[in-house]
Amino acid sequence: MQKAAVRLVVVSSFAFLPFVADAAFQFEQTLVEVTPDFGQERVTAVFRFKNEGTAGTVRSIETSCGCLSANSDKRSYAAGEGGEVTAVFNVKGLSGSVERSITFVSGAKGEAPVRLAVRVHVPALVEIEPKMLNWELGEAPLPKVFKITMQGPDPVHIKSASSSRRNVSTSVRTLADGRSYEIEVKPENTGEALLGMVRIETDSRFREHQKQMAFFRIDKKQASVQP
């Protein structure tokens, strides 16, 4: 009698387990690339999918960064039904190509998580070339230049350019007003190794582009790498 009671409890517990549907969420694409406009702080990427299996649910959607949020348009999908995962990427303060990922997990038994990716190409409003000016120890202290190009639709002017080192001077030359500049950098001597920066201030209407930095150094000759 006691054994029968135990067996009844076990069978009843299985009756209350949730049913896991055999869903199969197929995405049209797992990578979305976006290029925001100058000054745009947020971009949106949409991942469309279709449930190729039976009725199913979305168990979880997680992102790799606090700058990225993602949600599906609902939680449950019938067989053959389509849906979307919408991601919003905060790109403020970023530049160049940046990629962040999303992990999509369905409620289907045995179905592997799907990795989605948002790749954003944030245009540089102020382009500086080269990134670093170099002098070798003992080299003649001749001036070298950074070339500054304003990439946006509106003209941007350089208000000032100052060196972080007292023995390294800077001067700004306008090539095309609001569009193209050169910053000449000249050390007094190259007898000692040093690392410094040029602080550049612009009149851009976007706060994150109002202050820029370019770097210079005096160092011993770098050994060439043999192939």
The residues spanned by each domain of the chain are 20-122, 126-219
Tokens coding 116:
């989605």
pLDDT at 10 (0 to 100): 29
Domain at 20-122, CATH class:
mainly beta
For residue 140, which of 184, 81, 189 has the smallest C-alpha distance? 189
Stretches in the chain below the pLDDT threshold 50: 1-22, 225
pLDDT at 223 (0 to 100): 55
pLDDT at 195 (0 to 100): 97
Whole-model pTM above 0.85? Answer: no
pLDDT at 155 (0 to 100): 95
Count, residues in the chain: 227
Q: Between 3.40.50.1820, 3.40.50.2300, 3.40.50.620, 2.60.40.10, what CATH number should domain 126-219 receive?
A: 2.60.40.10
Q: How many whole angstroms from its chain centre is CA 98? A: 3
